[in-house]
Structure 1
Amino acid sequence: MESKKTLSLIAIMITSTVWGLSLLSVKVIVDVIPPMTMTFFRFLIGSLVLSIIYMIKEKEKKLDKKDIPMFILSGASGVSAFIYFQNSAVQFISASSASIIVAAIPIFVLIAEVIVFKTKLSNKKIISVILSFIGVYFIVGYDSSLASSDSFKGYLMMFGAVIAWVVYSIATKPLYKKYSQISIVYFQTLFGTSVLIPSIFVETAKWSLVNNVIILNLLFLGIFCSAIAYYLYVYAMEHLGISTTALFLNLIPVITVVSSYFILKEKIGIYHIIGGALVVTSVYLANIKGKSGEEKLVEEGELKKAT
């Protein structure tokens, strides 16, 4: 159990890093390939990669017809809706500004878990979420352009992304009882990509402007951010619980800001440093050893429901 937890922590750290970098790639691509079309090709590439992994790890394809609606719901929310809203948002607000909305995900997931699964939350986990949210606010700061209609639309899109991810997390949890991590991600991506097919006929991409930079960023989004990262996220969610795993999403803004500094040459102020320290501390606090009896009961309850 301890080794699985360690692997899960490594998996979610890798996922957070990759998804933190993904916002930069989206920013590069979205002016050439519109949101829904980009999302379709991103997950089409991801589906091809996952198909290879699925064929190797799962010799027999078994999908219970009764579970198809749940796969469609989780795929449409976590694949289609979440990425579409995120891609649309960065057309109107900066990548770092969009990342602060991602910080709200753990809070909404915690609320949804309590409502849907009647999960009891430890005081330490609640404090960790609050602390991490404060840290992310320090990192991205207040966006003074919020008053403009474009900025408001961007934030509204990101709020839609948050809701989509909460639905994805809740819809995915019951699937652990019957399917492996790779099966879950494979079928979710397959159904999610299928939902996006009409988008390529609705939007107009500037194909003449597509160059090697656009292609490489799209491949990064498809292979690493969609196929590999989603698989690692589901693996971590199974062994850590959905609320603890969602807490690590607060590392995404930290990674986005730091990578923006090195790649886009953006400046990092004292508030970024303070915020980053708060986020890292919150993640450490949520996973520190020597848990109380209350916290052990909470985690054991989550694992029993997931297995």
Structure 2
Amino acid sequence: MKNNSIGIYAATVLAMVFWSLSFIWYKEVFQFYKPITLVVGRLSISAIFLFITVGLIMRKLTKIKASDLKYFLLLAFFEPFLYFMGESFGMTMVSSTLAAVIISTIPLFSPLGEFYIYKTRVTLMNFVGIMVSVVGVGMVIFHQGFGKLEANPVGIALMILAVFAALGYSLTLRKLTSAYNVFTIITYQNTIAVIYFLPIFFLFEFNHFMSVGVTISSLMPLVKLGIFASTFAFLLFTYSVKHLGVTKANSFANAIPVLTAIFAYFLLGETLGIVKIAGIAIVVLGLFLSQVPREHARRVFAFIPVGLITRARLRKNE
């Protein structure tokens, strides 16, 4: 694998790590603030951080063309605005793990959206890899049986809204990556989103925010969300969409519930049994299969039946 390919995949995985941790940081913030306050806080921190580092220090901000303004407005509407509306309120009604699972369904819809908008061909290996990962995700979540999962249907609906918002975001994002650098896209995207959210914040949650105030305990998880989940994760994901495309980049979303389960084990003391570990291994296998180039797909498919036949013969001769 070429060095630049390693860098692209490393960037994509790191983005998923930050987004996985965000499900834990959400719960920390909700001890103090309501959903819109959380979103405005994390986006404001991200926007200020980006303007200082990217605009003033790195000087990598480029001017938006008038003809592209509508795409930036649409991008920010899909995500962060619509996505965070669904995710933030949904997270108050469902568990972190279930929320991560629903978000991991994004790869199921990405191939259809990319084919419809950009006429991009999706290989059989893409679908096989995605479906294998979904099986692994199911093992991680339903490791105690299907009857163990209980959730608020409204919360599930809000998380599904976030899924489709993420799909719209990815498809719009692809159009802008060819004309603007990742720093410019994320800086303006988060700044526009703050403008979208402010009227709602002042109308519904400003008084509550003033009554709670700002402390170190309430600020730290917001800073983590703003810097890592709303800044670095988006920068890294935008970079991966530019080089991998929407379908391949989004296929890594299957890793989010797996990573969330791992972080929950270490940070929250949740259990991590054999079934969960097996599911994690299957998700990783599925992600690998989804990235196999078209020219190598036949070799992979040829290897699978040959391997099965060989094992059957060995057992017959025993």
Taking structure 2 as the reference length, the TM-score comes to 0.86
| RMSD (CA atoms) | 2.1
Whether the aligned pair in 2 keeps the contact of 1:37 and 1:199 (CA below 8 Å) is no
Larger radius of gyration: 2
Name the structure 2 match of 1:38.
38
Match of 1:180 in 2: 181
Instruction: Give the superposition deviation at 1:214.
Output: 2.3
Counterpart of 2:68, as a letter, is D
Out of 243, 254, 259, the position equivalent to 1:250 is 254
Distance 1:19 1:100, change over 3 A: same
1:293 aligns with 2:295: yes
Paired with 1:211 and 1:275, the residues of 2 have a C-alpha distance of: 39
Match for residue 200 of structure 2?
199
The answer on whether the counterparts of 2:54 and 2:61 sit within 8 Å (CA) in structure 1 is no
Partner residue of 2:117? 116
Assess if the C-alpha contact under 8 Å between 1:17 and 1:255 holds in 2. Answer: yes
Partner of residue 302, structure 1: none
Q: 1:259 matched to which residue of 2?
A: 263
Q: 2:212 maps to which residue?
A: 208
Displacement of 1:256: 0.7
Q: Is the 8 A contact 2:137 2:254 kept in 1?
A: yes
Q: 1:294 to 1:271 in 2, by over 3 A?
A: closer
The 5 Å alignment of 1:140-179 reads 140-141=141-142, 142=146, 144=148, 146=150, 151-179=152-180
Match for residue 303 of structure 2?
Answer: none
State whether residues 86 and 158 of structure 1, in contact with CA within 8 Å, keep that contact through their aligned partners in structure 2: yes
Following the alignment from structure 2 to structure 1, what is the Cα–Cα distance between the partners of residues 279 and 216?
35
Aligned counterparts, 1:264-283, within 5 A: 264-283=268-287
User: Where in structure 2 are the equivalents of 1:13-24 lying within 5 Å?
Assistant: 13-24=13-24
Shift of 1:287: 3.0
Shift of 1:111: 1.3
Deviations 1:21-46 (A, max 9, x none): 11001012124211112101100100
- Please give the TM-score of this superposition, normalised by the length of structure 1: 0.89
Distance of 1:285 and 1:140 partners within structure 2: 21
Return 231-240 or 200-209, whichever deviates more: 200-209
Q: Which stretch of the first structure deviates more once superposed, 49-58 or 274-283?
A: 49-58
Structure 1: stretches of 5+ with no match in the other structure: 296-307
2:93 is paired with a residue of what secondary structure? Answer: coil
CA distance in 2, matches of 1:208, 1:37: 11
Three-state SS of the structure 2 residue aligned to 1:121 is coil
> What secondary structure does 2:198 align onto?
coil
Query: Which residue does 1:102 correspond to in 2?
Result: 103
Amino acid at match of 1:67: D
* Distance (whole Å) between structure 2 residues aligned to residue 157 and residue 239 of structure 1: 30
Deviations 1:251-307 (A, max 9, x none): 11111111111111111222211211111111122335xx34387xxxxxxxxxxxx
Letter in 2 for 1:16: M
Unaligned runs of 5+ in 2: 298-318
